[in-house]
Amino acid sequence: MSDIQQRRYRRDSSGKHETGRGKRIVNTEERIDDIIREHLLLPNGPINTGSNLVEDLDADSLDTVQIMMWIEDEFDISVDQDDFEELVTVGEVHEFVKRHIGEK
């Protein structure tokens, strides 16, 4: 079981999310950024939506598959690996997930 699966996000009565470490996650983009940051061991802080997962954040193909799996688990969605592999930037991942969960 992955670290992110073990620390599952909890939703409080306000609809906001909280990680197992008490960090408030308030929207989809921040939840995705948290997954990417944790998996790639990036420092805290915002991730530029224009950041290329491979070129800027040094993700390899295994990283992208694992990030996809964590996102599937976090948002309770099923993602076709071929579709996910076409995503290049963090912003594209944000938009892809929001489409799959019906968020605008």
Provide the annotated active-site residues.
Answer: 60
Pairwise CA distance, residues 94 & 47, whole Å: 11
Is residue 102 a contact partner of residue 33, using CB atoms and an 8 Å limit?
Answer: no
Sheet of 24-25, strands arranged across: 10-11, 17-18, 24-25
Which residues share a beta bridge with 40? none
Query: Which DSSP letter does residue 100 get?
Result: H
